[in-house]
Structure 1
């Protein structure tokens, strides 16, 4: 991958197939950009109708080129693209970018042409980007393999932010907005239809580049589950932040995504959970994506979540404190002795936190400096944020304020520094040069700082996480299995179930019930009856042998009546367990992200409130704990109204085991339901009362 991506981002030579003299055309813009940027590699325009193109010697065909270029930009119509790919493959080109649309996103003929050119490229060992894309650029290498108009007026400076986007238009908009925000860009790639190179592969490459600190990504769907998760995991291990914009949250959006790039959107809730699982931040708006990428571009993450807020206005400080708490930051009070010292210096101040120095400190530079230095040196804060508003823009006060901040923050290398202000860009830059994350809006700033704290937590988790041992596979039937059989299969994963007995249709259910111990539950056992309650196949709270025999006869009769021909194994007799917090766990096969584990509280919480969360399988116990704490009803497990805390440790063990079983049998299982799962009081484990396995019939 490295060789081909080096050719893609830092080629020593480039051919432009369909090069144009007209700098406004698709074949003209890349040539113009390379020329004006001072690209130092060799440029080969290919145009059979001209001797020169924009001052460069032109060649009639790819075959006529004096060498095999590292990369080719294909700026020809869709109908000519397949032959252009063939010519490049025959010449030994390492990578090609296909700009044209009209392929898999258009119709069946386009899909066939796309398939053909992929086959040609793969046979030659050549990589393809696109089609239907805007290409790539690498500012440091002065390589601009794109026709995007975003570069028309001004090139984008190198910097710590990379952009990878399936949508060319969105990628270009992000680049423009990042430039306006003062962010430089390391690498920029748009993947389009992803006939070969996809966003996951690009993501993994850019996070490994030393100059990249943060990646802004846009996707409508992903094609390769393992490659995508590997990219996210690589970023987390390297301490690189990913800020993701994923569209298709609504059903309408998902349909539009599929038609736009022929991508499979998959389940949005699952995608959302996988991003959380691997430490990527999912932005809900473009503004949020930019805010968080901007904050991460400084490359400094808080050591913890304690924030100190300095302000001259109590109202602004309180608002920021509210926003900080909402985003997982702790607005801890200043130490009592420091508060007393500051109060003595300025009786009208409020030195608790937010530290309100009042307008009086504005005119007293040493006093203002002492207040801020006390917060930074003695407050024990991981983050320092100042509410400055329009003050820095004052010609008389602004320089004094910077002087005070320089003195107060000197030596605080690990401190995350932030400030809100409403000033021109050139004034913002003075603070940015001093390491301050600057924003006009305090709420947006606190969301961004909260995201930095989330990234820090994820990076720390990656350092201590150990590889999971793969679970040994067992034979899974290709046809439906009964609850009793499902439990036997799942027991191989170390999942424990209450003791039960399976009694043949002509056996003595009463005697079995007595052995299990009253009260008991009776259930029909049949691979053809997945939802037993719908056919009257369950009777609860049975308290005697005679009652058990009578109930069993009724269950068998109803099953015969409602599902004639069903294979009946008999009656399952299991203990009646009513205590514990009711939860549900299961596995489903996401069409893109493969086996995922679902967890939530049972009853109304799952049926009406949809209070569930997901994780990609497999995962460890620590991740299971984070999963459990995500649901809105988590307090039910902590113990409410005098109830004992639940055995969350046992629940986390169960979810991790289930995930490992699901991963080991990803090709054999379509779904698993454990419902209900009763979480008993702390130290008493969990009771899995029912199990369903749905085999995958077609592989």
Structure 2
């Protein structure tokens, strides 16, 4: 990771403000004011050639005339002057700089050139840069506010475990303020702007390795470096730091706006979704969801280690509401065992005791019943986490003390099983629950979503140590410069260990008939052309041919149709292939994503994939275990199991083919434009999977 030198940014002992202003309301005045007023313990060096004092501090004409070389410089100057300031900082031995200035790559090519010059200067000297076009950084524990955001002018966040990384300065400021208003504590805060050096991934990695960070909240418009982003996310997962992400650019208009705003590539939104699942990031789709999940992760003593959710409620209707939401989020709300239900019925004769457990209004008369109920739920029901919905009971001060102490005893008895408390509360009541370590929600489905996030991260963290080796492919041929026909494409796939049907290339219908006679019937006959990708569209495929005459006749007809419907196509002849045994058809593909590079696609149903859009993606490369998770995501997953008389399919062979295709794609990298294996025939369990057709399109070079 590129986190070397970033301590100079987030933990400096001295800070220079270049372009410092005596007016604390101006951009150059705010960081001086914040550092001085909010208790930064290091040295503050205002740089301003027009005055000897800035806000009561000695000012210096330039960084070269400052008495010492600061660890960090904050640059608040116009773009061209900012470049000179970076050069002066490098000469002075400054180790890090935060650049507020705009007018760089987000504007035009001239600005991009100025930005590139700054990067060259910094790289030569080893200085790290944040920005330009950013709102700055903060380290709340160190009282370091190298920013001009109004969000910390009057009210400061308390120190805590939430670190925030945002490509957008304004949204980053909004997040820090909301975190404070929701009572959470902030650790590190970074807005990366144009990300000329320290980018989103570097900041996430720095937060991931920081011991004081419990959860990372991220706002991403577009990845600037795929490898660094993947490495940062893997580091966060290995350190068990949840990453809760708001990724914008889901719509075409949003993606275009994101690109113009940060001069970065937005990529395919479906691929971002897949990449986040692959690397254990929780993608939030609203600000409320983002903060709910961050809150739960920051305050929960543990993640949810299993899928079994217990629901306790004073309202039967809300119990159903929560159960519906849990099912949608793939949490199990299992019926309690008979003996557990009998125990509850003995103390709650009018309750619904199956799960959700409806304790009814009797709870108000016997508040200790809640503790009994939770004991049965966790002990006899073996529930992994619970949500307690108390409606307006949380507003009754004298009941809350008994509820809290009872839940505290349950937590001590069953550690590692998260409990979320859902009720309307007064501010002081909520604070008392949170001081006792309980997570409090007012709206029940938001509580369920937060619990699902705790389960999501538990599963993700468990995968960090998973043995899922990427297939090794040592003997791959280089891709040709130009287009290849089907036989050549499948030969390349066979090198990767992907099963293919037996086939040969015949130049004429007569040669095809002779080859079919030797191969044995039934036979499939197809046009062989690097220029005809969708053979069936021109009548270029004939199936189930069972005699020499049928092959000869079909071959002549296919060549005639190719000449008629694709007169400019190069024709290499006819593919004579054995007809694969009946099986379930799938499509495997590879495409180049602008943000993540080679990405593997999977779906069922051959051409139906295009009509239904039931596909999943993964960033290459990956191993068979990740391939299985990819397979499990599609809506048609049940078709791979024994279903309505059809046998269970060879999922091991399918997962192996996906993993091998991913390794093949990663090996060839940018030299590969597209792969289309359609169909892959998946046989019954233990009988493998074979590619019946394949297209490989190398990246066009030299006008090919």
> TM-score category by the smaller chain?
over 0.9
Q: What SS is found at the alignment partner of 1:597?
A: strand
TM-score between both structures, scaled by the size of structure 1:
0.97
Measure the CA separation in 2 of the matches of 1:535 and 1:395.
76
Mapping of residues 551-566 of structure 1, within 5 Å = 551-564=554-567, 566=569
Q: Name the residue aligned to 1:451.
A: 453
Q: Name the residue aligned to 1:107.
A: 108
Q: Name the residue aligned to 2:57.
A: 56
What is the CA distance between 1:234 and its match in structure 2?
Answer: 1.1
Measure the CA separation in 2 of the matches of 1:88 and 1:109.
22
Measure the CA separation in 1 of the matches of 2:614 and 2:658.
16
Residue 520 (structure 1) aligned with residue 523 (structure 2): yes
Q: Name the residue aligned to 2:684.
A: 681
Pick closer, same or farther for the CA change 1:87–1:515 going to 2, 3 Å: same
Q: Name the residue aligned to 2:491.
A: 488
Q: What SS is found at the alignment partner of 1:66?
A: coil
Q: Name the residue aligned to 2:85.
A: 84
User: Which runs of 5 or more structure 1 residues have no equivalent in the other structure?
Assistant: none
| 8 Å Cα contact 2:471/2:623 also seen in 1 | no
Q: What SS is found at the alignment partner of 1:666?
A: helix
TM-score between both structures, scaled by the size of structure 2:
0.96
What is the CA distance between 1:633 and its match in structure 2?
Answer: 1.2
What's the CA shift string for 1:150-207, capped at 9, x where partnerless?
Answer: 1022111111111101001111111111111111111110001111111011111111
Q: What SS is found at the alignment partner of 1:589?
A: strand
Q: Name the residue aligned to 1:508.
A: 511
Measure the CA separation in 2 of the matches of 1:29 and 1:590.
41
What's the CA shift string for 1:76-106, capped at 9, x where partnerless?
Answer: 1223211111111111111111101121111
Residue 663 (structure 1) aligned with residue 666 (structure 2): yes
| 8 Å Cα contact 2:509/2:556 also seen in 1 | no
Residue 427 (structure 1) aligned with residue 437 (structure 2): no
Equivalent of 2:545, from 530, 537, 542? 542
Q: What SS is found at the alignment partner of 2:327?
A: helix
| 8 Å Cα contact 2:404/2:436 also seen in 1 | no
| 8 Å Cα contact 2:345/2:353 also seen in 1 | yes
Q: What SS is found at the alignment partner of 1:592?
A: coil
Q: What SS is found at the alignment partner of 2:160?
A: coil
What's the CA shift string for 1:440-459, capped at 9, x where partnerless?
Answer: 11101101110110111111
Mapping of residues 320-359 of structure 1, within 5 Å = 320-359=322-361
Residue 288 (structure 1) aligned with residue 284 (structure 2): no
Measure the CA separation in 2 of the matches of 1:425 and 1:183.
14
Q: Name the residue aligned to 2:23.
A: 22
Measure the CA separation in 2 of the matches of 1:103 and 1:656.
41
| 8 Å Cα contact 1:596/1:614 also seen in 2 | yes
Pick closer, same or farther for the CA change 1:407–1:365 going to 2, 3 Å: farther
Report how many residues are paired.
699
Q: Name the residue aligned to 1:306.
A: 308
Q: Name the residue aligned to 1:38.
A: 39
Residue 178 (structure 1) aligned with residue 179 (structure 2): yes
Considering only aligned residues, what root-mean-square deviation do their CA atoms show, in Å?
A: 1.8
Q: Name the residue aligned to 2:144.
A: 143
Q: Name the residue aligned to 2:233.
A: 232
Measure the CA separation in 1 of the matches of 2:451 and 2:389.
14
Equivalent of 1:367, from 357, 366, 369? 369
Q: What SS is found at the alignment partner of 1:245?
A: strand
What's the CA shift string for 1:618-665, capped at 9, x where partnerless?
Answer: 111111111011011112222432222222121111101111111111
Mapping of residues 271-286 of structure 1, within 5 Å = 271-286=272-287
What is the CA distance between 1:145 and its match in structure 2?
Answer: 0.8
Measure the CA separation in 1 of the matches of 2:225 and 2:364.
57
| 8 Å Cα contact 1:136/1:144 also seen in 2 | yes
Pick closer, same or farther for the CA change 1:475–1:507 going to 2, 3 Å: farther
User: Which runs of 5 or more structure 2 residues have no equivalent in the other structure?
Assistant: none
Measure the CA separation in 1 of the matches of 2:473 and 2:213.
36
| Worse-superposed segment, 555-564 or 334-343 | 555-564
What is the CA distance between 1:557 and its match in structure 2?
Answer: 3.3
What is the CA distance between 1:265 and its match in structure 2?
Answer: 0.6
Measure the CA separation in 2 of the matches of 1:639 and 1:595.
33
What's the CA shift string for 1:122-144, capped at 9, x where partnerless?
Answer: 22221211111011000111111
Measure the CA separation in 1 of the matches of 2:693 and 2:624.
22
Q: What SS is found at the alignment partner of 2:612?
A: coil
